Amino acid sequence: MKNKIIVRLFLQRKGDQKQLPHIPSETEVSFEDEAYDYTKHNIMTSLNKLYGDNLQRTLLKEHYRCHPDIIRFCNLKYYNGELIVYSDSSNLNPINIIKSVEGNHMRELTRGRRGTFNQRELEELNNLIMNQNNYSIKVHSENLNDIGKLAPYRMQISYAKELNSKEIEKDTVHKYQGREKPVIVFSTVLDQSAKAQKKMTFVNDPKLVNVAVSRAEKQLIVISNTDAFYKNGNDVGDLIRYIEYHDIKNIEEGRVISVFDLLYKDFSSRLMERKEAMKQVKANINLTVKKSCIQLYQNYLKKKCSNAIPLLMK
């Protein structure tokens, strides 16, 4: 039994303790030693559990996958600056944020099909791809097969498969570990609602954020309710601040809005402009209708008077 477990641990092929552990299938297995529990450990953490300080450790410092500006966040945040980056740095503006419009757009289904999702962030990705001219941020590939869409929640990915292009590869951050794409879009899902705040610990898991960021080879695009993460000293918040510090021009307001956003206390200023414009249109319509009614009434009076004059003359 122990040999089988060791094989399972080895097959995980993950030796980075800063990244996510293996996700096993739902099978009931008993472990004679917690160190062999492959539902909790990869090969590295299992060996650490068994041998402790007697195990010699070596960090593979050379990094070739991500653009230097992308991996620099992980290097500073998770690897104490120990990584030596050899990747290509020619790509401009490799890290970007699209701030979803004001309002709480996260939804949580608790009956039937359960899960957490944010449709507005999915629609923002669609709009970015289909209406590039509306954004200063540009996707660094015309081939949709070069794009990977990541999110912390399975339901977000389930809806992404329905709403976003089939050519875009979509998966949860946990399942995307070990893969990469030239362009990665990371949807953080949460908003400022009380329900979302209770989920912050999961989305801000350092290993999850490290994996999400380091899947991007040439460009990382984060679609997020940034205000939800700004307030707390957390990993997603630090990522947002890092991108902002790198170049404020890499942060852009979302373009997808809805009149239903007016139901929220906090809503986009562009919606207020639209609301005022709608008021003006309504006022113009009312004025036009009023003028038309007056004109019709005047015409009616003229006609009635013209018919009455001959009778008086008789």
- CA 243 to mean position of chain CA atoms: 15
User: pLDDT tens digits, residue range 200-241?
Assistant: 999 999 999 999 999 999 999 999 999 999 877 799 999 999
Separation CA 176–CA 193 (nearest Å): 28
Neighbours of 60 (CB within 10 A): 9
Instruction: For 167-180, give the DSSP string.
Output: TSEEEEHHHHTT--
CA distances from 250 to 25, 60, 96, 150 (A): 40, 31, 5, 20
pLDDT value of position 6: 47
Neighbours of 123 (CB within 10 A): 19
Helices 154-163 and 119-130, interaxial angle, to 10°?
40
Residues in the chain: 314
**H and E: helices and strands count for the chain:** 12, 10
| Contact predicate 224/236, CB 8 Å | yes
| Contact predicate 184/162, CB 8 Å | no
pLDDT value of position 71: 96
| Contact predicate 212/186, CB 8 Å | yes
User: pLDDT tens digits, residue range 170-199?
Assistant: 999 999 988 999 999 999 999 999 999 999
Q: Which two tokens stand for residue 194?
A: 């009380």
| Contact predicate 96/239, CB 8 Å | no
Confidence of residue 265 (pLDDT cuts 50, 70, 90): low
Q: What percent of the chain has pLDDT over 70?
A: 65
Task: Report CA torsion sign: 116, 120, 121, 122.
Answer: positive
* Maximal C-alpha separation, the chain: 126
For the cut 60, the answer to whether the pLDDT of residue 306 exceeds it is: yes
Q: Between 260 and 184, whose confidence is greater?
A: 184
**Over residues 19-44, mean pLDDT:** 59
Mention every residue, 6+ apart, whose C-beta is less than 8 A from residue 184: 147, 148, 150, 212, 213, 215, 216, 219, 220, 221
| Residue ranges covered by each domain of the chain | 2-54, 62-263, 273-303
User: pLDDT tens digits, residue range 80-91?
Assistant: 999 999 998 888
| Contact predicate 235/84, CB 8 Å | no
For the cut 90, the answer to whether the pLDDT of residue 65 exceeds it is: yes
Q: What is the mean pLDDT of the chain?
A: 80
What are residue 157's phi and psi, to 5 degrees?
-70, -35
Q: What is the DSSP letter of 149?
A: E
Question: Of the ranges 47-51, 76-80, 170-174, 302-306, which one carries the lowest mean pLDDT score?
Answer: 47-51
pLDDT value of position 295: 72
- CA 208 to mean position of chain CA atoms: 14
Q: Which CATH class is domain 62-263?
A: alpha beta
Q: Which two tokens stand for residue 260?
A: 């239903």
Question: Of the ranges 128-132, 144-148, 258-262, which one carries the lowest mean pLDDT score?
Answer: 258-262
Separation CA 26–CA 24 (nearest Å): 6
The angle at the Cα of 17, spanning 34 to 70, to the nearest 5 degrees, equals 155
Q: What is the DSSP letter of 116?
A: E
Rg (CA), the chain: 29
Confidence of residue 5 (pLDDT cuts 50, 70, 90): very low
Q: What is the pTM of this model?
A: 0.73
pLDDT value of position 272: 57
Mention every residue, 6+ apart, whose C-beta is less than 8 A from residue 109: 115, 116, 117, 155
